Amino acid sequence: MTLHNIVITAIFCGILSPLTISSKSLPKQHLTIAREETSVSSENASSSFVTMSTELARRQSPFAVMPEILTEDADEPETQASSLINYASRFIGTRYILGATGPKAFDCSGFVGYVYRNFGISLNRTSRQQFLQGQKVSLGSLQPGDLLFFSSRSSGRGNVGHVAMVTEVNGDGSCTFIHASSGKGRVTYQKFPDNGYYERNFVGARRILGTSLAANSSLAQN
C-alpha cells in the first residue's frame, strides 16, 4: 500500500488524526502530503454533511412543498369534472319533456341543473338564467364540465334557448357535449363544432367548476 493510501485509511479509521501528524512522526515531505490529504478529506466530508443536513431539513419542514402534492392539486379540477360527467352519463337515453327536471325526464336546463344539484351546486332553472352564472370562457379554453349555450327556434337567433355540458375536449379544440335534446327526444351526446345547427346557433360558454358557485359543493370537499 502506498503512503498516500495509508494516510487516508488511517485518517478515516481514527488511527491517525491531523493533530497526531507532526514533524516527529513523518518526514517533512510526507507531512506535507498528509496535511493536504487531511484538508481535502475534511472539506469533502463537510460539504457532504451540509448537503445531507439541508435536504433533511427541507423534507421535515412544515413549509416544504413536495412534488406529489403539487401533482394532486393540479389534477383536482379534472377529478371533479370526471365525477360530474360520470353521473350525467347515467341518464343517456332518458326522454326529453319540456319543463321536466328529472330524473325520469328532462328538458335541457332541467338536465344540467339536476346533474349539478346532485353535487350541491345550485343552478338557475332556465338556460337563459344559467347563462348569467359562473365565469365566461372561450371555445379555445373549454374544459370538461363547462356549459355551452345555444339559441333555439323558440328563443330566436342570438338569444339563449338551449344548454349542454362538455364531457370531452380534443386536442384540435373540438369537443363532445351531453344534453337533453328536443330534436332527438332524449339525453344524448353531440360532437361540436358540427358544421351545422349547433355551430350556427352557438352563443357562448360558461364555467361553473372552480367558481364561487362550486366552493361549498361536495366536489370541492372531496
Contact assessment for residue 111 and residue 179, using Cβ atoms and an 8 Å cutoff: yes
Dihedral angle sign, alpha carbons of residues 188, 189, 195, 201: positive
pLDDT of residue 12: 44
pLDDT of residue 200: 95
What are the cell numbers at 65? 412543498
Per DSSP, what are the bridge partners of residue 166?
A: 177
Rounded to whole angstroms, how far apart are CA atoms 20 and 39? 14
DSSP 36-56: HHHHHHHHHHHHHHHHHHHHH
The fourth-level CATH superfamily of domain 67-221 is endopeptidase domain like (from Nostoc punctiforme) (3.90.1720.10)
pLDDT mean for each 10 residues of the chain (222 residues): 49 43 49 49 50 56 40 58 97 98 98 97 97 96 97 91 97 96 97 96 97 84 62
The C-alpha angle 96, 100, 101, rounded to 5 degrees, equals 110
What are the cell numbers at 91? 341518464
pLDDT digit string (tens) for 126-179?
Answer: 999 999 999 999 999 999 999 999 999 888 888 999 999 999 999 999 999 999
pLDDT of residue 91: 98
pLDDT of residue 57: 56
**pTM for this one?**
0.66
The domains of the chain are located at 3-60, 67-221
Helix (H, G, I), strand (E, B) or coil at 6: helix
What are the cell numbers at 165? 355540458
